[in-house]
Amino acid sequence: MNLKAELKSYGAKLLEATAPLWLPKNVAVILMYHNVGDTLNDRNTITRRGFADQLQCLLRLGFRCLPATSLVEQVRTNSLAFGRVFAITFDDGRSGVISDALPVLREFKLESTLFVVNQFTDGRTRWFSYNKVPPSWISESESLATKGFSLEYADREMLLNWLENNQAIGGHSVNHLHLATLPDDILEAEVYGCAKYLEQQYGCKQCGFAFPYGEYNGRVVDHVKKYFTYAVSVEQSTVTAVRNHHGAVFVFPRIDPGRSVYEMLYRIRRLVSWNRAKSTV
């Protein structure tokens, strides 16, 4: 183990051992992943081992895992039982979620939600660049010239396998565009088209929606509300922060757990203390 990994492992143990001091007994979080796999060619991929370690750690800390739909519903109806709760979500529909995350989810008997993009469910490879402004998908030749990332997506067969294994699917739009910048008619097509596709192709009704790039405004929310039951953003926060507004909440924050137990616990601790600070002013 190199020094950095050793320090992280020590830090993870320290954070877990001191959890009674900083982790509330009553807390809810929605984890936001993108991909699981051992080829770490982009920053949104966590190894299968890292993913399993994070889940195991949460379970050791007394967290219960709920499907995102149930967690959201219980927050809205103010019926979330006292305790530590988490939900697992994945954005985009990458193939590693089915090949590498699903075996771990099955092992732990946990349910999760995968937010898919209609146009990315054909199993094709795509290329992405963080160097573009704004970051976006690019062509293969552009990727070679600019050191873009190649990303693998799940196909229909993989998604059906996902559903057969008690996992859920949600919407992430038709083309993964920057929704807040679109005129009304195209925005409507991106959102309605996504809901219709999920119902027709996968029998999914009453789904959740993840905003592409986490971008939204009041107009985007109005469109999404017509066809989806809740939405998740990329705003980093525990759900506990929105619990007091139950009933009216449509958009739920999430936590990016990073790639290790240390990163996950460090981020949860930071957000928990922010929430505490906010609630005392």
Least separation, in Å, of the C-beta of 93 and Zn ion?
Answer: 9
The interface region with Zn ion, picked from 38-46, 83-91, 199-207, 218-226 by CB under 5 A, is 83-91
Q: Considering beta carbons, is residue 73 or 215 the nearer one to Zn ion?
A: 215
Phi and psi of 263, rounded to 5°?
Answer: -60, -45
Q: Considering beta carbons, is residue 53 or 92 the nearer one to Zn ion?
A: 92
- The yes or no reply on residue 91 touching Zn ion (CB under 5 A) is yes
Taking the alpha carbons at both ends of the chain, their separation in whole angstroms is: 44
Pick the closest to residue 268 from 255, 250, 279, 280 (CA basis).
Answer: 255
The interface region with Zn ion, picked from 55-63, 91-99, 143-151, 190-198 by CB under 5 A, is 91-99
The interface region with Zn ion, picked from 90-98, 106-114, 154-162, 273-281 by CB under 5 A, is 90-98
Applying CB under 5 A, the site for Zn ion has a residue count of 2
41 C-beta neighbours (distance < 10 Å), count: 10
C-alpha span between 67 and 60 (Å, rounded):
19
The interface region with Zn ion, picked from 84-92, 189-197, 224-232, 267-275 by CB under 5 A, is 84-92
* 229: Cβ contacts below 8 Å, ≥ 6 apart: 69, 72, 206, 207, 208
Q: Tell me which residue has tokens 């509300």.
A: 225
Least separation, in Å, of the C-beta of 156 and Zn ion?
Answer: 19
The interface region with Zn ion, picked from 1-9, 58-66, 89-97, 177-185 by CB under 5 A, is 89-97
Least separation, in Å, of the C-beta of 265 and Zn ion?
Answer: 25
Q: Per-residue string for binding with Zn ion, 216-235, x by CB under 5 A? A: --------------------
C-alpha span between 28 and 36 (Å, rounded):
23
Q: Which H/E stretch holds residue 232?
A: strand 230-236
Omega before residue 134 within 30° of 0, cis: yes
Q: Considering beta carbons, is residue 76 or 126 the nearer one to Zn ion?
A: 126
User: CA angle 85-215-140, nearest 5°?
Assistant: 105
- The yes or no reply on residue 190 touching Zn ion (CB under 5 A) is no
C-alpha span between 207 and 7 (Å, rounded):
41
Q: Considering beta carbons, is residue 65 or 116 the nearer one to Zn ion?
A: 116
Q: Considering beta carbons, is residue 92 or 190 the nearer one to Zn ion?
A: 92
Reported residue count of the chain is 281
- The yes or no reply on residue 92 touching Zn ion (CB under 5 A) is yes
Least separation, in Å, of the C-beta of 76 and Zn ion?
Answer: 25
Q: Which residues bind Zn ion (CB under 5 A)?
A: 91-92
